[in-house]
Amino acid sequence: MTAPDAPDPGSPDPDAPDHLALDEYRPGASVALTDAERWPTLTPEGRQRLDRLRDHPLAPAWVHRTGDRLTAAGIERAQTPLSLDGWLDEHLATARRLPAYRRRAAGWDRLDDWPLVTRDDLVDDVAAFVPLDADLDLMVHGSSSGSTGRALLIPDHVEEVARTFHLYVSLVRDLGIDWRPDPSRMALAHVVHQRQAFTYASVLSGFGQSTTARVNLHPAQWGDLDRRSGFFADQGPQVFSGSPTSLAELLHPTLVGHLAPLALFSGATSLSAPLRADLETAFGCPVIDVYGLHETRPIAVSSDGGPHVVLDRRLVVELVDPAGQPVGPGERGEIVVTAGENPLLPLVRYRTGDHARLVDVDGRQALADLEGRDPTVFAHADGSVVPCVDLTQHLQAAGCHGWSVHQERGGAVRAVVVGGDPETVASRLGALLGREVAVSQVTALLDLGEGKPRRYVSEAEAA
């Protein structure tokens, strides 16, 4: 398969200077490990598949290089769900030794003796929530912008990350779909749709050394939409995962006819019923909506559009009122999670900022009327769509700790920021949206509103 000879005239010129480019998304800007360190068990066959993906003539530029770092023993452990026998007592014993608690936790015998913690507690000192005897050689870190945009680096354990993938495999198989390695197809494509993104080509050591990738669907990364569709047609991902905004792009006329997924996983923001129905109709496969946070990992899933059933993992889910007190049966409350899957971040009673009602589904705890984080798109002056994640990148690059951005029906945009340089914000957002942006600055995150304020509101309609 060869690349198209000329770019689509309606697509961005990939050779034109990009005045909004961020250094952290420059391909190969930071390479720390060798391939032998990234995949200790890589076979010649796995290497061949990896090289073919990395060097595919239709592939976009891969921004980063990353691997699962799993040894043979780690692969075996990651394929086995953690035991639930006595896990909570063990989890609380570990938490009592954390720097965040060790001077106060002696008398906290039951779970409800423990105080609630918030994202701000982690942002202020995430190291205080990492066990002192943790094996940091198995740590990788990911970032989360959260509800206010205040960035948080989260310590992830490589085996736990892999275990989450195998959870996804089991969820697909539970629906009667036999998802197994196929050497001719990519196993999993995690798709995003943003102007600049962390992307990579990799191999899943514990899944037949099948390929996987994080791929940016944004047209600016391809130059020609036929190139994008040709890449996915050739790779044939078995499963896609992504936010609703990203999955919706799979319905683009240049893509939908080239894809034959076994299942789709949606996460990060709320999945609407109409989008779920359109995806199911277009691809003839289930759409599994995963509710979770980077801090907690997956919490609950819905494969039919009904309540999100709490996963049978090391999780305790509670609902509390604004004062932090338990709500009554069937009442709506904020979701609080005790999460024991990630040994590098043993959270106890973590406030998610999301709300739901606890209900029973076939004898299992489930979250009904879940109010998660809504995706927002803005209207560019030329009528095109700009996803809010593009704004997030540049607001954070400008040094902002938090913000609120509002676009009126007529297109006018105003932003309120905490920290950062308002002039830089106005310039960058103005360039992204093709229109003037009025920026004001406040002193503290609390000035943006109590609780979990909406970072983005757009009343405008794109063409």
Tell me: the pLDDT tens digits for 214-245? 999 988 889 899 999 999 999 999 999 998 88
Q: What is the CATH number of domain 1-373?
A: 3.40.50.12780
pLDDT in tens, 298-326: 999 999 999 999 999 999 999 999 899 99
Give pLDDT, residue 20. 63
pLDDT of residue 39: 94
User: Over the Cα atoms of the chain, what is R_g?
Assistant: 22
pLDDT level of residue 135 (50, 70, 90 thresholds):
confident
CA–CA separation, 307 and 300 (whole Å): 9
How is residue 311 written in tokens? 């996963």
pLDDT-derived band at 74 (thresholds 50, 70, 90) equals very high
Question: What confidence category does residue 148 fall into, taking pLDDT thresholds of 50, 70 and 90?
Answer: very low
**CA angle, corner 24, sides to 234 and 200, nearest 5?**
20
Q: How far apart are CA 372 and CA 356, in angstroms?
A: 9
Site of tokens 């999945």 = 271
The CA distance from 379 to 453, in Å, is 21
- The packing angle between helices 422-433 and 388-397, to 10°, is 150
Parse the chain into domains and list their residue ranges: 1-373, 377-458
Amino acid at the residue 258: H
Same fold, 1-373 and 377-458: no
CA distances from 87 to 99, 116, 312, 399 (A): 21, 20, 12, 40
Using 50, 70 and 90 to split pLDDT, how confident is the model at 449? low
- pLDDT bracket for residue 13 (50, 70, 90): low
What's this model's pTM, rounded to 2 decimal places? 0.79
Q: Rounded to the nearest 10 degrees, how much is the dihedral formed by the CA atoms of 296, 299, 301, 307?
A: -130
Contact by Cβ (8 Å): 387, 216 = no
- Residue 17, class by beta-carbon neighbours within 10 Å (0-12 exposed, 13-18 middle, 19+ buried)? exposed
d(CA 377, CA 275): 15
Distance in angstroms (rounded) separating the CA atoms of residues 319 and 325: 8
Task: Look at residues 181, 203, 147, 194 and name the one whose alpha carbon lies nearest to residue 354.
Answer: 147
pLDDT of residue 127: 94
Phi-psi region of 349 (alpha: psi -120 to 50; beta: other; left: phi over 0): left
Take residue 137 and report the two structure tokens written for it. 């050689």
Of the CA atoms within 13 Å of residue 357, those in its CB half-sphere come to 12
Q: Residue 390 above 60 pLDDT?
A: yes
**H or E segment and range at residue 353:** strand 347-361
For residues 24 and 428, the model is more confident at 428
Number of Cβ within a 10 Å radius of residue 331: 11
Highest CATH level, class, for 377-458: alpha beta
| Contact (Cβ atoms closer than 8 angstroms) between residue 50 and residue 201 | yes
Mean pLDDT, residues 85-110 taken together: 93
Predicted local distance difference test score (pLDDT) of residue 372: 58
Note whether 354 and 369 are within 8 A (CB). no
Burial of residue 290 (number of CB atoms within 10 Å: 0-12, 13-18, 19+):
buried
State residue 39 phi and psi, 5-degree precision: -135, 85
414-429 residue pLDDT tens = 999 888 899 999 999 9
Q: Supply the DSSP string of 189-243, one letter for each residue.
A: EEEE-SSS---EEEEETTTTTEEEEEEE--GGGTSSHHHHHHHHHHH--SEEEE-
Which residue from 463, 272, 278 is spatially nearest to 375, judged by alpha carbons?
A: 272
Which of 223-227, 231-235, 274-278, 393-397 has the lowest average pLDDT?
Answer: 393-397
Task: State the Cα–Cα distance between residues 426 and 439, nearest whole angstrom.
Answer: 6
